[in-house]
Amino acid sequence: MPSNTKHATWLNRSLARAKEFLSRDSHVILTLILAAIIVYALCLPNQMFWDDEDFILKNMFIKDWQFWPRFFTDNIIAGTHLVSNYWRPLLQTIFAIEWHLWSDWVWGWHAVSILCHAAAAGMLFLVINNLLNNRTLAILTALLWVVHPVHTEAVVYPNSMGDSLATTLVLTGVYFYIKFRRSHQSAIKSPDWWIALIMSPLALLSKETGILLIAFIALADFFFLTPSTRFIKKIKTILTALWPFILIATVYMVLRATVLNFNNSFNFYNQDTQFTTHFDVRLATFFRAISLYAGFIFTPYDLRVERLIDPAQSFYELDVLWGIALCTALIWLAKHNWNKRPVIAFGVLWFFTGILPTSNLLVIINAFVYEHFLYTSLIGIILIVLTFALESANNKKKRTIFLAIMMAVILAAGIRSAWRCLDWRTAIDFYEKLAPSVPTSYRVINNMGMAYAEKGIVEKAKETYQKAIALDPSNAVAYHNIANIYRDAKESDLAQQYYEKAIELQPNFIFSYKSLAQLYLNKNEYARARKLLEIYFNMSEEKIYTLNILAEIAYREGAYVKAKEYLTILLQIIPNDPTTLAALQKLESVIKK
């Protein structure tokens, strides 16, 4: 038998075995889980850094369950004494559970992130399979999606789990909504409808993109679930089932605009600029981002977490024109295939809907481009490409070749994703590799200084902090960080100078107050130390610690009445505390003398 015939026979047998194995949903989901684990296993020992510092490692709220109610009233990094416009109580609750299970053990954090990504892939398979009744398309979509290199940013560092968590809940909501529609029950009587509805607030509590649940359900219902061909009747039918979802989303938006508006929920910059006030600038910049996203999707070789791109100045810039051409092509595809290939139109609208929350068109967010912005929207592009590819494979031979090519693509994508995990192995390696690409990024340069300082590479840390200060002289963080270097080197005068500068630049920068107060204490400058700690007390959650220190300083200073006042406040926080009562009794005797 010729060798090529043997190879073809072996390939056909292999495909037949794979088809038989994947005929059960549980086997498909197991395959997706294994694919996620194999691809991302290299990230398990990776150091935690980047956003992990503020959201997890330094976040005191997740380390003490007494703060759990504040997950629902404060921004997600309030426990780090910082302010953001992110409110994600469910994600923060999961972080708290993880912290109490394994503290800062990195393997545990990365394992949960990987499994959450796998769960999203599993739900994606169930949604596509049940919605389109095309098992091959569903399996290939989920498998290519779970290994695609563009997702490494959303998986390899634990804080980014908000993407996979929200997407899992969104897809779960879509899946149960599909089951509800196919059951022909009324919404109120359908357990599936209620489960879908519950997913709505849970997704919103996970990440802001949870609001996509309503849009994705509406798209699925419009194209595949409501049989009526009359447009108005379709819309009425969909709205009848979706009005509670819309109500939940409306309440969420109102809360984010009022009591949960920590740092301007709808404008990250919190000020008017050409970008924030001119929609045409934001639209042109969105087209520029689309041109970059096309590269991430189809040629994912230049992947990195930070990209500093300028707002577009005109619609006639080359990359903007390329983005316009891509969007125009997608819109044409949707219009041309609206009736004969609804899955193509569905995929196009899924992509644009998924990218909308991070497009800066409606809500102005913290960046123009991030790879993880494609986490959910990529599904639409994969559906489009695979639908055309499967149609082209219209006979057994072509189908065999297509599946072989797909396996090769999935393997190559998985290898690229696995290799990318190594970029995140240590903070120093990560920042040293990233910095040349974004030499003007204050965040990257300052964080690189922190990585050097943590490893005791003092001179490099100082040099790097000075670069950060030169990039943004008005930012308090690098001043505080370099002050720490001088403090540890016993150069207290320089440390004091930089701490004072940090406070001058940012009076609410809580970290410098405590450190500067300690420097004053070391010099026996009690009044100055006490003044700083009183400010720190009003801003910090460390009330008991701070009051004890204040009482001790006042006692040393001879300000006994003030010391008594601090101890009295302390007793209000921890009534009948024996240590405080004893200190107060001792102080009373001193005052009498």
Sign of CA dihedral 572, 576, 577, 583: positive
Residues 6+ apart with CB under 8 A from 78: 61, 70, 262
Which of these three, 364, 392, 420, is where a domain ends?
392
Write down the pLDDT at residue 411: 96
Token digits of residue 239: 């709205």
Which of these three, 374, 392, 410, is where a domain ends?
392
Report yes or no on 567 lying in a domain: yes
Q: Which amino acid is at 434?
A: L
Which domain does 549 fall in, by range? 541-593
> Backbone phi, then psi, for 267, in 5-degree steps?
-150, 100
Report yes or no on 180 lying in a domain: no
Report yes or no on 145 lying in a domain: no
Q: How many CB atoms neighbour CB 527 within 10 A?
A: 12
Report yes or no on 348 lying in a domain: yes
| pLDDT digit string (tens) for the chain, length 593 residues | 555 665 556 666 776 787 788 889 999 999 999 999 999 999 999 999 999 999 999 999 999 999 999 999 999 999 998 889 999 999 999 999 999 999 999 999 999 999 999 999 999 999 999 999 999 999 999 999 999 999 999 999 999 999 999 999 999 999 999 999 999 888 889 999 999 999 999 999 999 999 999 999 999 999 999 887 688 888 988 999 999 999 999 999 999 999 999 988 888 887 888 999 999 999 999 999 999 999 999 999 889 998 888 999 999 999 999 999 999 999 999 999 998 999 999 999 999 999 999 999 999 998 999 999 999 999 999 999 999 999 999 888 888 899 989 999 999 999 999 999 999 999 999 999 999 999 999 999 999 999 999 999 999 999 999 999 999 999 999 999 999 999 999 999 999 999 999 999 999 899 999 999 999 999 999 999 999 999 999 988 889 889 999 998 998 888 888 888 999 999 999 888 888 888 888 888 887 76
Instruction: Report how far residue 128's alpha carbon sits from residue 480's, in angstroms, rounded to the nearest whole number.
Output: 51
Q: Which of 178, 181, 173 is nearest to 206 (CA)?
A: 173
Report yes or no on 219 lying in a domain: no
Report yes or no on 354 lying in a domain: yes
**Which residues on adjacent β-strands are paired with residue 364?**
267
**Which residues on adjacent β-strands are paired with residue 267?**
364
Instruction: Report how far residue 455's alpha carbon sits from residue 49's, in angstroms, rounded to the nearest whole number.
Output: 13
Residues 6+ apart with CB under 8 A from 523: 492
Token digits of residue 488: 């540890």
Question: Is residue 340 helix, strand or coil?
Answer: coil
Write down the pLDDT at residue 588: 83
Q: Which amino acid is at 402?
A: F
Report yes or no on 104 lying in a domain: no
Instruction: Report how far residue 249's alpha carbon sits from residue 253's, in angstroms, rounded to the nearest whole number.
Output: 6
Question: Is-contact 296 150, C-beta < 8 A?
Answer: yes
Question: Is-contact 165 90, C-beta < 8 A?
Answer: yes
Q: 267: which DSSP letter?
A: B
Token digits of residue 516: 């500067």
Q: Which of 593, 564, 504 is nearest to 483 (CA)?
A: 504
CA angle 468, 473, 475 (to 5 degrees): 80
Instruction: Report how far residue 181's alpha carbon sits from residue 190's, in angstroms, rounded to the nearest whole number.
Output: 9
Q: Please state the domain count of the chain.
A: 2
Token digits of residue 83: 């302010």
Q: How far is CA 503 from the centre of its chain?
A: 30
Report yes or no on 582 lying in a domain: yes
Write down the pLDDT at residue 482: 97
> Backbone phi, then psi, for 420, in 5-degree steps?
-65, -30
**According to DSSP H, which parts of 278-359 are helical?**
279-298, 318-336, 342-355
Which of these three, 392, 419, 451, is where a domain ends?
392
Question: Is-contact 322 291, C-beta < 8 A?
Answer: yes
Residues 6+ apart with CB under 8 A from 586: none
Token digits of residue 300: 């994912």
Cα dist from 195 to 177, 178, 381, 442, whole Å? 8, 11, 28, 44
Instruction: Report how far residue 401's alpha carbon sits from residue 414's, in angstroms, rounded to the nearest whole number.
Output: 20
